[in-house]
Structure 1
Amino acid sequence: MSRLSTGTIVSLAICAAVLAGLVATYVARRPIELNALDVVLPLAACGALLARRRHPVAAVIVAAASTVAYYPYAKLDGPLLVVIFVALYTAADRGHLAAAVATGAAALLAMGYGESGGVRHVDDSMFIMIAGWVVAAIAFGGVTRNRRAYLEAARQLALDALRTKEEEARRRAGEERLRIARELHDVIGHNISLINVQAAAALHGLKKRPEDAEAALRTIKDTSKETLRELRTTLGVLRQVDEDAPTGPAAGLALLDELVKASGLRVRTETSGPLDALPTEVDLASARIIREALTNVSRHAGTDQATLTVTNKSGNIIIRVEDEGPGTQYDGGTGYGIQGMRERATALGGTLEAGPRPEGGFRVTARLPLTP
């Protein structure tokens, strides 16, 4: 068995009070001869009251018509006015303000017209009081509706703010994961590629040229040690909470020679313009891009020679890494190495282009603005 709603219980209580008032009036005024309207009109008004939440407009019209007709034609003067006040309030509260105003005005006009016929059922002060209650019921219904709408809007704003906060947290988490992946790729990718190249050279020259194999193995030993050191440093930095802390162990352009030497390639380096006192993020990104571009040459170009040009011009750092090797397979710039370089450049408001050269080989060109 379903439980009655609070609105239905309130309507039943009002109807019971109205009917009890009519019975009390009848008992107090016995003997009195009743007519059918003394029963039909109160029951119709109470029925409309019970339907006020589902059909507020129809309910207020029926309640108003029953109440207006009751007092001139019924024998009892019971508290049926309460019904129309509640119906007007409900119509306004449910958003049917125009219907409530029109019905209330029509009811007052009908009552005024009836009172002008000669027989006065209510005096002037009573009529003014009834009109005031009609206006108050409609106004109170409008106020409660506006308050409910305000609370709903505030709740929706709170939900939107929470949703935005969660989305921002997910975005920041995604950016942090990307940063960690980029840092680990920069630290490990280059050195592992160098170890792979040197191991292949050692295997190739192990019997024919043992001295070259020994040098390659020594390079592998030093590089693997450096890789472990940088990996520990990077993981330590990534565990820091302070976002302003250094974001990785890579040196900037001040140690450009060491970056080039660590690549294991024969690199012709050209620089132009001041490369010291650069913004930290530009300095770090430049070193990362150079390192990754040289790693790609070592891994994919099929040559051990490259040209590196670094220029400070017109408020931008221009980096160009070129090789003349036959290359292997060009992935259109979708690999993680090129993608990571492009993300670094884009994050600083710059650009990065990578692709085959018309004359052969491969070129990576990055532009990093010194000021955002």
Structure 2
Amino acid sequence: MSRSSPGADVASPDERPKSRPGPGLAVLTALAQPVGTAIVAGWQHASVGFVGYVLLVFSGLALADRHRFPRRNFLIVVAATLTYHLLGGPVGVTLLAPMIGAAAVMAVGHRWLVATATAGSYAVWVLVSGATLSQALAALALIAGAGLVTEIGILVAAEVRNGIAEQRRLSEERQRRRASEQRLLIAAELHDVLGHHLSLINMRAGVGLHLMDRDPEQARAALDAIAQSSAEALREVQAVLNTLYPAGEAAPRAPAPGLDRLAELTEDAALRTRTVIDGTSRQLPAAVDRAAYRIVQEALTNIRRHAGPGAAATVTIGYRPEALVVEVDDDGGGAPPPQPGPVPRAGNGITGMRERAAALGGELTAGPAPDGSGGWRVRATLPLGSDETREATA
């Protein structure tokens, strides 16, 4: 049984579902109960009455914030449903709201409350309504059936959630394993290439120094061998590094760009771009400077590819005491706001940006803009003094 402070009904952080569904189910229940009950009442030649309809609608709408106040809402729904039946309302689709409310309470571990409220309500109804034995047994069977359906629904929902979480975990694990295997392969190749050629260069350099005065010709031959070995090492290292780049794209020979070229990058972005500098600009570690530039570059590329026509972007560079914050927003270019549902799976571009940030001990998030405009936001926080930053800079 979950612990809670007296009188508190807010689900604890560990108990709360990871996502809060909207009021859609509550509205649907508020419509389904009176409509379904009216149909069943018509078969029974009975009348629901104005008060009955109000109670059925109210019990459905009371589910709107069931995930925030599960126990309180469940008790309200049970009270409204019990009142409906004590007023002599005809049997119909009246247990739908209590079933949904009970599922929300049971999901946070308060099964005792569901059992107590159900048993108490049944006892009050039997005593106050003066139900016959057959009516009491029929009502008990109906309640038991509703409880069984609720339990099955909870089990099915849990299995679905577990299956989705497991698939996501396996996918992330496969992605991490592929990245690790690629890194190990590249590291092994570089180890072999550099270890072999550097040992030859070191040995021949020693020979050249030893023979420099006594036998200049032999020293020259040693220097020629060093030149050949170093050239061969460069070619092999280049071949290994080329595996890090897409087909047909060679490793860069020019110095890696940084934020000092941000104006040039935004001018060539082929979309309306505004740059905002938040804080005092200062010299950054080379690794952070390079990663920030690449993140902005990839984010602008994604805007060109995926945003609506005429999209505009805002690049914000925030200089903080301990970190550099890079934020790239777009207005969606007139695209409709994203519909509720799961966030689309991150593509290679977002994965690459996230790995750049993680390599420096930072983090990167990417998702729909919080203002609901239909745009997208990429935000990266790159620490300036972490061990990863210092090692990557060295």
* Smaller-chain TM-score bracket: 0.3 to 0.5
Q: Higher helix proportion, which one? A: 1
Q: Which has the larger radius of gyration?
A: 1
TM-score (norm 1): 0.46
TM-score (norm 2): 0.44
